[in-house]
Structure 1
């Protein structure tokens, strides 16, 4: 399961910085490499041009008895011992004397290269040979210098890329931080007027009942109260999300009994489950299931998970909550017999305001997204498994507390291995 929205946001900022830095470094490295390639190409071209011009001149006018340094002139009558091993190339001399057309080529001998031009001269043919070892040495020296320059350029590119990447994403990170601060400030400012509005609607509802107002007016007040309550829940979700995003470690964390949290969530949903004619079962161990975390955040997460299951299960269905501990991990699973979902959409369910495909009512809002933020901020994971037409199953796994704290002046609480099950049935 992927991380929380806050983690995804920070990861996006880091990726943006890395991409900007990598692109900057790549551009600098490419420029250095391009300059090196151009310099090497120019050197090779100038050397080749000079060698072949001198070789043509010597073949046409040079004295075979006194050739220039690093150059040899051969005729068909010369013995091989006069020059490098393997020269002259007699097949070229004979071919040129017969065809009267010049031949140029490069020959590899004894670990070096030779430029060879054979051309007609007088009634015969002459072959000019130039040793290219010094030109090759210059090229190797230039390649070594370019390699060193490329390494230095690469190091400079990395440093420049890091600096540029950080500077480039700084406005993005600042904008996200301002956005979070705005959400926190706005949520704080809205909590009081929303709470007052909800209280006022409740008072008006009681007065309307006492005044025997028409049923449609009472229903309208109920819908208004529900809307304001939902608005308040969204504000609480935003505040909790901002709190977890700002610094997941700044909240007071202590041992929390996840079994007790689950029991409270079941009690809160019992009336709604009965209204929807659902069977709500709880299977939990007799002892506590302690995890370390923020009590209010965990209550919100478990409550959202159970409310989501009750809300998506049709009348007559079943919602089962089970808990247990295995290998130091506390697991809480909520399974329902609703419509389920396509397993391919499992991760998308935890996206903010995700709407299921082809279903106008299956809108998930902030609830499941906040659920994942709470769980991941506690070092746990949440997994969704869908069975189209046969329900869904959500599992929260959190690191358990290694040892149950002993009560003051008493013995440590024991963990009973057994489980007990309670049921809430439709009337």
Structure 2
């Protein structure tokens, strides 16, 4: 989260600086272009109306019938069609001509003495100025991006530092509180179980036995929440648990999780099948966390599937990844809620509540570099798909060396 916040600040800062440089460059280019065009047209009109044919203004050539062009005049001029048109209509004609990698502005008009003169202005210097301006803007853009990167990093660190510290304190508090609560909750749970067995042996009234059973269930769920908080805090600690990563056979893990839930599926009269390859599929990760994630998927399916329903667990290899899919025949959900199911303590439109389980599941999968997606429709069940990067199997253990017995020769 902290890294994303820093990156976002850097990107926003860079975008703002880039936008400002582009905006300033566009305004400067527009103002410069208009100013140059107005100046050029003024000089062009003045040269055509009053310019000395033998000594025209700079960058301008003047053509008239019977007048020899000056040395160095551009090739292809004058434009004789314009002379013909002006003699016929007595109205000035202006045009733009592109030749010899430059642009010429041409104006042909009749002077007060009746002579027709054509003025040609070479804009190569103006075009060079514009090119230099765009080059300078490009350099400014590069410098601006570098400045934006540095500024973004600095601002990111300064602005996100309080957030990082708050998250660290929150994570430490959750971890410490969970550790401190774990032991007394375990003791209470154990004591409640003992009392439940004593109540059954001493034949206490049914309301007392039911109350103890409900208390045991509540304390057990509270212990599960504490375990979820501990696992979430350890995952968000970053690379601290990287050393615990090992190749984990997801096929064997899924079969083991299904076997552990056999009592619940049997009590709920649910048919659970596991369809996977006969060979292992390995992912690099923490086995306890992955077991918790797969267990959450199966527990969620069991909790939302009515008696007599069916749950399918499918494992396949897809493009260098291991894909695990859990499909149930439960009530399903609205497609619009697919993403919100992974929010903490999300409550669906039909009143269903999902608690921490699916949110923790996404944390586990994301920590392992994978993705999780949900799909379903009301009355058509739900399907959860987890995709994790596949890894190489663990190295085979070296064969133990046999002792060599010394013999006589």
TM-score under structure 2 normalisation? Answer: 0.75
Query: Does 1:200 find its partner at 2:193?
Result: no
Cα-to-partner distance string for 1:381-409 (whole Å, 9 max, x where unaligned) = 44544364243333445425436633864
C-alpha deviation, 1:251, in angstroms? 3.8
C-alpha deviation, 1:304, in angstroms? 0.7
For 1:278-427, list aligned pairs within 5 A.
278-282=270-274, 290-321=282-313, 332-342=324-334, 345-356=337-348, 358-361=349-352, 363-386=353-376, 388-398=378-388, 399=390, 401-402=392-393, 405-406=396-397, 409=400
Residues 277 and 334 (structure 1), Cα distance of their counterparts in 2 relative to 1, 3 Å cut: same
Between 86-95 and 246-255, report the one with greater CA deviation: 86-95
Are the counterparts in 1 of residues 92 and 107 from structure 2 also a CA contact under 8 Å? no
* Residue matched to 2:265: 273
Query: Does 1:148 find its partner at 2:135?
Result: yes
Residues 41 and 199 (structure 1), Cα distance of their counterparts in 2 relative to 1, 3 Å cut: same
Return the match for 2:13 from 8, 20, 38: 20
Query: Does 1:40 find its partner at 2:33?
Result: yes
* Residue matched to 1:190: 177
Cα distance in 2 between the residues matched to 1:327 and 1:94:
78
Query: Does 1:164 find its partner at 2:151?
Result: yes
Are the counterparts in 1 of residues 325 and 383 from structure 2 also a CA contact under 8 Å? yes
Partner of 1:132: helix, strand, or coil? strand
* Residue matched to 1:89: 83
* Residue matched to 2:165: 178
C-alpha deviation, 1:310, in angstroms? 0.8
Residues 364 and 128 (structure 1), Cα distance of their counterparts in 2 relative to 1, 3 Å cut: same
Residues 214 and 118 (structure 1), Cα distance of their counterparts in 2 relative to 1, 3 Å cut: farther
Are the counterparts in 2 of residues 253 and 293 from structure 1 also a CA contact under 8 Å? yes
C-alpha deviation, 1:51, in angstroms? 3.8
Are the counterparts in 2 of residues 319 and 337 from structure 1 also a CA contact under 8 Å? yes
Q: Which runs of 5+ in 2 are unaligned?
A: 71-76, 402-409
TM-score under structure 1 normalisation? Answer: 0.72
Residues 387 and 405 (structure 1), Cα distance of their counterparts in 2 relative to 1, 3 Å cut: farther
Cα distance in 2 between the residues matched to 1:10 and 1:223:
44
Residues 166 and 232 (structure 1), Cα distance of their counterparts in 2 relative to 1, 3 Å cut: farther
**Higher relative CO (CA 8 A, sep ≥ 6), structure 1 or 2?**
1
C-alpha deviation, 1:345, in angstroms? 4.9
Cα distance in 1 between the residues matched to 2:321 and 2:142:
46
Are the counterparts in 1 of residues 192 and 216 from structure 2 also a CA contact under 8 Å? no
* Residue matched to 2:236: 245
Partner of 2:327: helix, strand, or coil? strand
Q: Which runs of 5+ in 1 are unaligned?
A: 1-5, 97-101, 411-427
Return the match for 1:131 from 120, 129, 139: 120
Cα-to-partner distance string for 1:236-274 (whole Å, 9 max, x where unaligned) = 323323333332462412243445533543344333334
Cα-to-partner distance string for 1:351-406 (whole Å, 9 max, x where unaligned) = 444443x3111x33332232233234334444544364243333445425436633
C-alpha deviation, 1:159, in angstroms? 0.9
* Residue matched to 2:23: 30
- RMSD after superposition: 4.0
C-alpha deviation, 1:305, in angstroms? 1.2
C-alpha deviation, 1:40, in angstroms? 2.9
Cα distance in 2 between the residues matched to 1:31 and 1:250:
48
C-alpha deviation, 1:308, in angstroms? 0.7
Residues 378 and 72 (structure 1), Cα distance of their counterparts in 2 relative to 1, 3 Å cut: closer
C-alpha deviation, 1:297, in angstroms? 0.7
- Aligned pairs, how many? 384
